[in-house]
Amino acid sequence: MTGRIKSNVKSLSRLLIHPIPVKPVLVNAAVRIEDTVVLVDLSGKVFSNKMTSRNYFGRGSKAPNLFKALVRLGLVTAADIKQHETEVEADLAARNRRSSSQWILDEAGRAGLKLSPKQRAQLQRQAEP
């Protein structure tokens, strides 16, 4: 099973990460940051103990140390990581804005509050995907 980092940055999205195998592997490079271990074997295959059963790495707490390790190994650049983090923050802000706007519209309807046409139009624009 291999994992990918879900990203619009090509160098990150192309990178395949495998779980650390049970059998011994000849390692070319290794990095450990806190509880994250990343290995590169002689053929260039990347292994990590943070490989999960999912097909891609999400935006959880495991990613920052993994990113630092990939930069230290020279597999990606710090600029790629910065671009990825910027895009993730922008996506998260847009998703939060949409869900908040939809929640306000729903709750105003349940509470029987009347929104002005201008307020309703603004909230509907923000709630659109």
Are 10 and 65 in a shared domain? yes
Residue 58 pLDDT grade (very low, low, confident, very high; cuts 50, 70, 90):
low
This prediction has a pTM of 0.73
Are 43 and 97 in a shared domain? no
Are 89 and 72 in a shared domain? no
Residue 53 pLDDT grade (very low, low, confident, very high; cuts 50, 70, 90):
low
Checking if the pLDDT of 94 tops 70, the result is yes
How many angstroms separate the CA atoms of 56 and 125, rounded? 31
Instruction: Look up the domain containing 116 and give its range.
Output: 82-127
- Determine the Cα angle at 54 with ends 48 and 57, to 5°: 60
How many angstroms separate the CA atoms of 77 and 3, rounded? 19
Structural domain count of the chain:
2
Checking if the pLDDT of 68 tops 80, the result is yes
